[in-house]
Amino acid sequence: MTEILPIDSLMIDRWTNQWMKQLGFNHEQLLKRNTKVEQFSRFVLDRIQTKKSIDITKREQLLLETLREYEHRLSRTGFENDIREEFENMKLKQKELYIEKRHQELDLKEEKYIKELDQLFQNERSLCQILTVTQMEIITDETLVKRIERLQDYINTLNKIKTERLTTIKSYRTRLNDLCNRLDVKPDNLSIICQLIDEKYESCLTTDSLDQIESFLNKLECKSEEQEKYVNTLVGTLEKLYAKLARDDASPPKRSAAYILRHNTAETVKQLENEIAQLQAKRMATSQAYCASMRKKIEELYEQCQIGGSERRPIDFEKITPAILDECDREYDRLDDMYHVRKPILDAFEQWKLLVQQHSEFQKKSTSAARFHERGYSAVKEQAERKRFAIALPKAERTCLNILEQWEKEHTNQQFLINDIPIRQIIEQQHIGTSNTTATTVSNPSTTGLKTSTSSIGLTAVPQRTLSKNNIRKKSLRHVVKHTVEQQVSQSHHHEADEDTLEFTQLENIKHFNGLPRIVTSTPKTEKINSNHSVVDIGRNKTNDPIHKRRPSKRLIPTRR
């Protein structure tokens, strides 16, 4: 069904008059004409409506493509989507205008970010050239915003490295100036060191430049340490020279400013070397007397330290040179230090040696029968002396060996020599000699008739013939002991004493069964003792004690209350 065109009456009247008056149409012709006009008008309207719908479809499709392109640009650049919610409720023309406006804004924003990215790339390139580092890697799928953020972080890191290197370079410059002035070093004008000293920091920030600067600094510091050691050596030499000249000369030289301040500089080194040369020249003037004095002191230290030829250093005292004087000084210092180290061991060894000598003399004296004829002989004192040796000898030997072990721990793979003989060998030979002497004395009692071993001395009591009280009162103890020894000597020719030797520590066990000391003589112990003899013991309340009988009685004196 065709639609009726909305034609008003005025328009109809205008057409009717036009067709009827101007063209001369009648009513029927007019109606036919109106029908044709209406058909044509409808045809034109349909065409217009079809075209309009096609145009609207195309515009909507174009708007959709434009919107997709906008979203793609947003995803490519990384910007946020700023399309409002009321976009869906807008008309087509408004949507087109809105999207067009957003595209223009996006173009401006993208252009701005691209310029910023180019500037960041230039900064990165310059920093990488200065610091000699690689540029940031480019990721293909990375957005513009993300690339800018990552590039900014990388540039911040490079700037931080640059700041740290600048701080390091400035500290290097301070150290370089100090070391160059101290060591009197002048770097090449074209080198990186000279540029650093001239404060051209930009050319010194590369990795190669830093390596060159650090290598040069390490060399200068090594030279500075060597120079410091050399200055200390020169100062030590000067101290020795001052001490020696003060000892040998009544007017010693004054200390120089370089010696007192001891700066680690090349100028100080020159001053100290010149001062040493002057003092050595002054010392050479009295070198002959000095060498004679040092030779005497060195020989005295050789004797005090008991050093043999293997530990002595040959010095030609006839040919006097500064080197010989220094050699004398070094040898004297070595011996002085050695004396303080060896003195405790030597003192302990001398104490042990003195006790061994005294014990040997005591052994000879205690095994001789002539001691009974000496005035003031006391068996009790002899026993006490034997007990003292039994305690003191092992103690002295143990003390000496303890100090020696401490020295051997501090001086590994070394032997303590006394006149080229190890001290342990001396002690062992003394033990071997003592045991051999004891064995010889025991096996050959017929040579002297009175020499016995230590064990036979300690374990043998003096046999004594039973005497009456009257005879004990008449005869002295000396006469009784003499008579007893003569009897035992006559019997010792027929009997041999088979006894083992004792060490020094066993002598303290020579006591009676009741804990009191016995009278011990050198008379060998025989297997058979006559029933007419008895053992004389010294103690309280003994009936056969002549000393007890001759003692004056002690009368108690009452005291006033």
Nearest to 463 by CA among 447, 483, 493, 443: 483
Cβ neighbours of 253 (radius 10 Å): 15
- Residues 290, 325: contact at Cβ < 8 Å? yes
How far is residue 131's CA from residue 159's CA, in Å, rounded to a whole number? 10
- Per DSSP, 518 falls in state B
pLDDT at residue 226 tops 80: yes
Q: Is 78 left (phi over 0), alpha (psi -120 to 50) or beta?
A: left
In the prediction, which pLDDT does 290 show?
76
β-pair partners for 421:
418
> What whole-number distance in Å separates Cα of residue 230 and Cα of residue 386?
62
Secondary structure element (H or E) that encloses residue 422, with its range = strand 421-422
Q: What is the pLDDT of residues 379-415, one digit of tens each?
A: 888 888 889 988 988 999 999 999 989 898 888 888 8
Per-residue pLDDT tens over the stretch 35-75: 887 788 888 888 998 998 998 899 889 988 988 898 888 88
Distance CA 334, CA 512 (A): 56
Q: What is the end-to-end Cα distance of the chain in Å, rounded?
A: 170
Report how far residue 102's alpha carbon sits from residue 108's, in angstroms, rounded to the nearest whole number: 10
**How many residues does this entry show for the chain?**
561
CB atoms within 10 A of CB 362: 15
More confident residue, 441 or 447: 441
Band of residue 442 on the pLDDT scale cut at 50, 70, 90: very low
Q: Look at residue 234 and tell me whether its pLDDT is greater than 70.
A: yes
3-class state of residue 522 by DSSP: coil
Instruction: Point out the least confidently predicted range of 189-193, 308-312, 411-415.
Output: 189-193
In this structure, the number of other CB atoms found within 10 A of the CB of residue 434 comes to 19
Round to whole Å and give the CA distance between 114 and 144.
8
Residue 22 is predicted with a pLDDT of 66
d(CA 445, CA 228): 76
Cα–Cα dist 191/196, whole Å? 9
Q: How far apart are CA 540 and CA 161, in angstroms?
A: 102
Q: How far is CA 215 from CA 13, 172, 180, in A?
A: 112, 11, 14
> What is the SS3 assignment for 172?
helix
Q: Which residues pair with 417 in a beta bridge?
A: 422
Closest C-alpha to 437, from 447, 427, 451 = 451
Q: Report, as an integer, the average pLDDT of 339-368.
A: 89
Question: Strand pairing of 533-535 and 463-465?
Answer: antiparallel
Checking 421-427 for CB contacts under 8 A at 24+ apart, the result is 421/308, 423/345, 423/349, 427/352, 427/397, 427/400, 427/401
Task: Give 115-164 pLDDT, tens digit per residue.
Answer: 999 999 999 888 888 888 888 888 888 888 888 999 999 999 999 988 88
Residues 478 and 39: their CA atoms lie apart, in Å, by 186
Q: Which amino acid makes up residue 110?
A: E
The pLDDT value given to residue 457: 29
pLDDT (average), residues 80-103: 84
> What's the rounded Cα separation, in Å, for the pair 520 and 379?
7
Q: What is the pLDDT of residues 260-281, one digit of tens each?
A: 777 778 888 888 888 888 887 8
Of the candidates 254, 315, 328, which has an alpha carbon nearest to the alpha carbon of residue 284? 328
**What pTM does this model have?**
0.42
**β-strand partners of 534:** 464
- What is 342-408 written as a DSSP string? HHHHHHHHHHHHHHHHHHHHHHHHHT-GGGGGSTT--HHHHHHHHHHHHHHHHHHHHHHHHHHHHHH
Phi, psi of 465 (to 5 degrees): -70, 140
Place of tokens 């309340």: 541
Q: What is the pLDDT of residue 118?
A: 92
- Taking only the tens place, the pLDDT of each residue in 444-501 is 433 333 333 333 323 233 333 344 444 444 444 455 445 555 555 454 444 433 333 3
CB 509 within 8 A of CB 541: no
pLDDT at 3 over 70: no
SS (H, E, C) 463-490: EEECCCHHHHHHCCHHHHHHHHHHHHHH
pLDDT, residue 559, reads 55
**Lowest-confidence region among 200-204, 213-217, 340-344, 480-484:** 480-484
CB-based contact 497:445 (threshold 8 Å): yes
Judge contact between 457 and 501, C-beta under 8 A.
no
| Torsion-angle region of 184 (φ positive above 0: left; ψ -120 to 50: alpha; else: beta) | left
- What is the CATH code for 334-368+379-433? 1.20.58.1520
Query: Could you tell me what percent of the chain has a pLDDT over 90?
Result: 6
Q: Looking at per-residue confidence, does 553 or 215 come out higher?
A: 215
Question: What DSSP element (H or E) covers 534?
Answer: strand 533-535
Q: Residue 8: its pLDDT value, please?
A: 61
Per-residue confidence (pLDDT) for residue 129, from 0 to 100:
84
Contact 215, 252 (CB under 8 A): no
Pick from 541, 377, 551, 380: which is nearest to 473 by CA?
551
Instruction: Work out the number of other CB atoms within 10 angstroms of the CB of residue 154.
Output: 19
pLDDT of residue 108: 92
pLDDT of residue 189: 67
Report the pLDDT averaged over residues 507-522: 45
pLDDT value for 528: 41
User: Residues of CATH 1.20.58.1520 domain(s) within the chain?
Assistant: 334-368+379-433
In the block, which residue shows the tokens 């005295």?
300
Collapsed DSSP state (helix, strand, coil) of residue 537: strand
| Average pLDDT value for the chain | 75
Residue 4's pLDDT is 54
Q: Does the pLDDT value for residue 530 go beyond 50? A: no
